[in-house]
Structure 1
Amino acid sequence: MNSSYKKLISNLEYLKLNQMVAHLDETIDFMNNKQLSFVDTLMKLTDYEIDMKEINMAKAMVKVAGFPHRKEIKDFDFSFQPSVNKEQILDFGTLRFIERSENIVFLGTSGVGKTHLATSIGIAAAKKRTSTYFIKCNDLILNLKKAKLENRLEARLKHYAKYRLLIIDEIGYLPIDVDDAKLFFQLIDLRYEKKSTIITTNSNFKSWGEIFQDPKIANAILDRILHHATVVSIVGESYRIKDHIQSEK
């Protein structure tokens, strides 16, 4: 092992280019066998480093998104929920809807897989390094309410508005008073036609006036959410009940 090779290894390690260190020998052999130019060899070597950085950055995006679990589209049991169009969900996974700043609403009773599907699409987006964030509706409202009390509402709204994909889970499980509904409207209005939002809800749209305790605000929220949206209605049994029944067998 000559001194130049040792120095190169030392330099790469110092620069923390670990993938280049790991693949150096095979790349040198490949260069000699294929008679590659210096530029082509260096390009091949740096590709290993870039690929690993991309993987690590994607993992980091998934980690900071706040997902409740790491269930992906491949983990969804489409045979148990035949009302869900698999091809449609796979199309969501291509993220075309984000490029168009469109929304998705998953509507159905508790346990039918709304959160799983919303999360799995979010994970697909985060893996492609699309800024994504998951939050339950009640937590979102509480955070906005707290920010308003601390005179930093504008900053908090901008924080949630910046994500290219925001997933708001469980709208309708808890009532929202009029003041809080106005805060929620401000966020939806900020994102309208600029960013994509995925919403899960157990309540049909006619009852949103009761949820937000003001039909006018509810209609304004719905108008902005549904204007460029695909609504996926899931009709079926609860996965949790299915799992419970199977455990009793």
Structure 2
Amino acid sequence: MNEQTIAKLIEMKMNGIAEAYEEQSSNRDFQRMDFDERLALLVDFEHSRRKNGKLHRLIQAASFINSNACIEDIEYHADRRLNKEQILKLASGTYILEGHNLILKGPTGSGKTYLATAFGVSACRQSFKVRYIRLPELLDELTLAKLAADGSYRRLLKKYTKVDLLILDEWLLTDLTTDEATILLAISESLHKTVSTIYCSQIDPSGWHLRLGNETIAEAILDRIIHDSYQIMIDGEISMRERHGISAR
């Protein structure tokens, strides 16, 4: 009877209950409990298993460089000047529900990518769909799709509107061509008011105009980003790479 029950549970994709049921069947301590208590434990195990499975899938789909980054491990050294209260508040995901963006700015090695990823993992824990990508890679991807002229460009833009949070690393690391700025405007237009975005940049937004080149396009892009954004400056007399003994690549 137990084998038949377990087979049916697996067939119904209730593997967590099947596993917990097998444990209960082989352990006499469980058999001393009443039906409601045992049922509650079975359901809790299945719920936990499914939740963990969903979290794993969301983190995997996000394509993080370091999926172990987490809010709990952020280091609040005095010279970094991070506001812990602000970071914990943002980690709650309210900015995503409200359609706001985050701008993380600071020099190389200050920990922008780690902080952005920690926010991303936190969003995954809250069942938000997240995607991490470097801006140069995104521009290359969209440029190739645009050249293909087979509709893949629009489909690709639409794909990025299906996430709740997009993390754009290495934002405006170099000057953009007019074609790249035009593509970036299309991205910004697609994301505006629909997808929250985290921008990781080495330069302050006041200097973004120069990197975007075309003044008209620059104004249009910045208008869709800056007014809806929280800004966090990550300072530090010592880089995080140096603190952790990591050589710069």
**Match 1:109 to one of 99, 107, 112:** 107
The CA distance in 1 between the partners of 2:30 and 2:91, in whole Å, is 37
Q: 1:80-127 CA deviation, whole Å, 9 max, x = no partner?
A: 644111111111111011110110000111111111110100011122
**Match 1:64 to one of 57, 61, 68:** 61
Contact map agreement 2:116 2:198 (CA 8 A) in 1: yes
Counterparts of residues 148-163 of structure 1 (less than 5 Å) = 148-151=146-149, 152-163=152-163
Residue number in structure 2 paired with 1:186 = 186
Contact map agreement 1:137 1:170 (CA 8 A) in 2: yes
Gaps of 5+ in 1: none
Q: 1:190-213 CA deviation, whole Å, 9 max, x = no partner?
A: 111122000010112232122111
Question: What's the secondary structure of 2:170's corresponding residue?
Answer: strand
Contact map agreement 2:81 2:236 (CA 8 A) in 1: yes
Residue number in structure 2 paired with 1:127 = 125
Q: Which amino acid aligns with 1:229?
A: S
Residue number in structure 2 paired with 1:240 = 241
Q: Which amino acid aligns with 2:52?
A: I
CA apart distance, 1:176: 1.1
Contact map agreement 1:81 1:234 (CA 8 A) in 2: no
Residue number in structure 2 paired with 1:52 = 49
Counterparts of residues 142-221 of structure 1 (less than 5 Å) = 142-151=140-149, 152-221=152-221
CA apart distance, 1:46: 3.3
The CA distance in 2 between the partners of 1:98 and 1:245, in whole Å, is 32
* Shift in alpha-carbon separation, 1:82–1:46, aligned structure 2, 3 A: same
How many residues align structurally? 240
The CA distance in 1 between the partners of 2:35 and 2:132, in whole Å, is 50
Q: Which amino acid aligns with 1:58?
A: L
Residue number in structure 1 paired with 2:88 = 90
The CA distance in 2 between the partners of 1:206 and 1:93, in whole Å, is 26
Contact map agreement 2:161 2:194 (CA 8 A) in 1: no
TM-score by length of 1: 0.87
* Shift in alpha-carbon separation, 1:219–1:34, aligned structure 2, 3 A: same
The CA distance in 2 between the partners of 1:156 and 1:9, in whole Å, is 43
* Shift in alpha-carbon separation, 1:55–1:96, aligned structure 2, 3 A: same
Instruction: Determine whether 1:99 maps to 2:97.
Output: yes
Contact map agreement 1:176 1:212 (CA 8 A) in 2: yes
Q: Which amino acid aligns with 2:194?
A: K
Contact map agreement 1:65 1:133 (CA 8 A) in 2: yes
The CA distance in 2 between the partners of 1:50 and 1:85, in whole Å, is 35
The CA distance in 1 between the partners of 2:53 and 2:179, in whole Å, is 41
Moved more, 107-116 or 214-223: 214-223
Question: What's the secondary structure of 2:163's corresponding residue?
Answer: coil
The CA distance in 2 between the partners of 1:111 and 1:43, in whole Å, is 48
Moved more, 73-82 or 156-165: 73-82
**Match 1:19 to one of 13, 16, 19:** 16
Residue number in structure 1 paired with 2:137 = 139
Identity across the alignment (%): 28
